[in-house]
Amino acid sequence: MLVDFELVKRAQGGEDAAYNQLIQAYRKRILGTIGRLIGKPEDVEDVAQEVFVRLYFSLDQLREPEMFEPWLHRLTVNSAYDYLRKQRRRNESRMSDLSEQQVVMADAVASSNRNIEDNRKAQVRELVGSLLSEVSEEDRLLLTLKEVEGLSLKELEKVYKVNENALKVRLFRARQRVLKAFGRLQGENAVLAEHFTGGRAVEPDSSNE
Amino acid sequence: MELEQKLDRLFAAYRSAFPDPAPSAAFTPGIWNKIEARRRQTFVMSWTRKLMVASASLCFVFGMFLITPFPNGASPLATYLDFLDDEHDREVVAELHQIPGQTQLDEAGQPILVEEE
């Protein structure tokens, strides 16, 4: 817990200064979590602001201040989920306007403009993003919280208010689907997959330049 | 098994590809602006809802008033004159119905009582 319970209670009582302190304490962590959940750095601040706005208006419903962090996690997951759903609808309509070749060319131009390290990070993000697109938005968020954010099953139980066994089953199924997609990708492009999992940086593809 | 480990390494690489970013200077003020905007929106919405409930209640009350029959059988839309028409001497009512300029007079200049069909 990054803040004491007293501060949470003061914020619940409508003290704006206390709420401001809550924002200062958690904003960096929330920004990071949202970045990893949605995979779009450019939209992270907007979604994180939405989390804090929702927190402000729902804080009075929090009965036990000890549950503040799971509560905040739940709001984060919900906001990320809403964003992903909207994004999927937007992408469906936008991508349908472009031919496949145009999409590939747009990706290539974007890739060639980044430097090596940024390029590697962007490729990791794209690779994981495409693997996570194999599962539903709900499972994507759950898997990211467990595998990337490192939340324990106990913590996830508090966030989702679902019993541990049900979470284990969902996580297992989601991971199996991602593994299957990863295996397929390795079969198709072993060199690419090896670059990311072997810890070696990827040089930008000269054919794109 | 090897694939499982590779996936774990990929998730770890993903974690480091997304370090916790520093918020921009506009981040916190942006939150307060959004809170204020939503407060205003909530205020307007709550008043709109109250007005709608009040209008619906009034419509209901008037509707019930119009539908419910009067105990003596008179229509609630009847005017005072209709009421007199039913209850009082027809001659008195005829005099009350007379409108200057439209009244028919007999040869002696007395108003004519027009019998209703």
pLDDT in tens, B61-97: 989 888 876 666 556 666 776 766 666 666 665 666 6
Predicted structure pTM score: 0.67
At residue B32, does pLDDT exceed 90?
yes
- Distance to chain B for A84, nearest Cα, Å: 17
Q: Which has the minimum average pLDDT: A11-25, A111-125, B25-39?
A: A111-125
How far away is chain B from the Cα of A97, in angstroms, using its nearest Cα?
30
pLDDT exceeds 50 at position A205: no
d(CA B10, CA A198): 9
Question: Are B4 and A179 within 8 A, CB to CB?
Answer: yes
Query: From CA A39, how far away is CA A121, in angstroms rounded?
Result: 11
- What pLDDT does A151 receive? 92
> Which residues in chain A are contacts of B18 at CB distance < 8 A?
32, 35-36, 39, 41, 121, 125
pLDDT (0 to 100) of residue A166? 93
The answer to whether residue B40 scores a pLDDT higher than 70 is: yes
Question: What is the ipTM for the molecules in this complex?
Answer: 0.74
pLDDT of residue B18: 84
Inspect the interface and report whether the beta carbons of A179 and B20 lie closer than 8 Å.
Answer: no
Question: CB distance A50–B9 less than 8 Å?
Answer: no
Cβ–Cβ gap B27/A49 under 8 Å: yes
**Among A45, A50, A128, whose Cβ lies nearest the Cβ of B23?**
A45
Q: Average pLDDT, stretch A7-19?
A: 92
Widest distance between CA atoms in chain A: 60
Average pLDDT taken over every residue of chain A: 83
Q: In this prediction, what percent of chain A has a pLDDT beyond 90?
A: 52
Q: Which residue would you say has higher pLDDT here, B99 or A140?
A: A140
Distance from B78 to chain A by nearest Cα, in Å? 54
Determine whether the interchain pair A128/B10 forms a contact, defined as Cβ–Cβ distance below 8 Å.
Answer: yes
pLDDT digits (tens, 9 = 90+) for B104-116: 667 776 666 666 5
Put simply, the answer to whether A124 touches B34 (Cβ < 8 Å) is no
Dump pLDDT digits (tens) for A150-183. 999 999 998 998 999 999 999 999 999 999 999 8
CB B18 within 8 A of CB A36: yes
In chain B, which residue's Cα lies nearest the Cα of A51?
Answer: B31
Q: How far away is chain B from the Cα of A168, in angstroms, using its nearest Cα? A: 17
Beta bridge partners of B105: B111
3-state secondary structure of A10: helix
Q: Where residue A45 falls among pLDDT bands split at 50, 70, 90?
A: very high
By Cβ distance, the residue of B7, B13, B31 closest to A49 is B31
Return the pLDDT at A202. Answer: 40
- CB–CB contacts below 8 A, A to B: 94
- Chain A residue at shortest CA distance from B34: A53
Calculate what percentage of chain B has a pLDDT beyond 70. 62
Q: What's the sign of the alpha-carbon dihedral A89, A106, A128, A45?
A: negative
**Worst-scoring range by mean pLDDT, A29-33, A84-88, A188-192, B35-39?**
A188-192
Instruction: Using the predicted structure, report yes or no on whether residue A121 has a pLDDT greater than 90.
Output: no
State the pLDDT at residue A89: 77
The letter for the amino acid at A54 is R
